Chain A
Amino acid sequence: DTAVSQTPKYLVTQMGNDKSIKCEQNLGHDTMYWYKQDSKKFLKIMFSYNNKELIINETVPNRFSPKSPDKAHLNLHINSLELGDSAVYFCASNQAGRLPSRANVLTFGAGSRLTVL
């Protein structure tokens, strides 16, 4: 019973296309995130949503648009894909609040590897 699940796991597409990655968590967490791991293996936060509201939006091109229909789901839509968008995208969730509660620790999905040709 996967806690944070993302689909698809692999996505290969052409430059200029629009694609979406979906994420769902069944942990009852109130905050969800998208992280990008690029070719340098750097895990960098892109977006954070708390109870369906955007709370963090790092410097990300506006071609990336997160959508949170409810607090258990956070989808990532990418328009006009570029070669540099090729990366592994990780969804994560936690319960907002100060550490050190175990619920505040991030739980990650398995990642979605996006390859733009």
Chain B
Amino acid sequence: DQQVKQNSPSLSVQEGRISILNCDYTNSMFDYFLWYKKYPAEGPTFLISISSIKDKNEDGRFTVFLNKSAKHLSLHIVPSQPGDSAVYFCAASSGQFYFGTGTSLTVIP
């Protein structure tokens, strides 16, 4: 039973435009949400996170939005760069971490 879902397996965006990656979760006990980025043949690396007491967290080009009522979070990357091409995993935690299946982002130069 998947508690964290990323329904878009892939996304292509032109360089300089905004990339929006989406994630849904089912467990209302999750109190912390994270995004990880993964390049081929490497492990996932932490990108940005948000606590359930906030609805937005920004770090440079990356912003995570949390909508608790909809149990939905999103990652915005603007402007997108070719180096952002990777698989992005959404994760949620209530002590234990649960991951989505990832969205493969391709930024086209």
Contacts and interface: CB of A to CB of B under 8 A. Distances in A.
B102 A41 contact: yes
Interface stretch (A14-22, A65-73, A75-83, A107-115): A107-115
Interface string A42-58: 11110010000000100
Contacts of A100: 32, 49, 51
B96 A90 contact: no
B25 interface: no
Nearest to B95: A98
A40 B68 CA distance: 27
B51 A99 contact: yes
Interface in B1-27: 2
Q: Name the residue in A9, A99, A105 with the highest tally of chain B Cβ atoms < 10 Å from its Cβ.
A: A99
A30 B83 CA distance: 33
Interface string B73-98: 00000000000000101010101110
Contacts, number: 50
Interface in A79-117: 90, 92, 98-100, 105-111
B59 interface: no
Contacts of A43: 44, 89, 99, 101-102
Interface of A: 4, 9, 35, 40-45, 48, 56, 90, 92, 98-100, 105-111
15 contacts: A4-B43, A43-B89, A45-B97, A99-B31, A99-B93, A105-B46, A106-B46, A106-B97, A108-B44, A108-B45, A110-B41, A110-B42, A111-B41, A111-B42, A111-B43
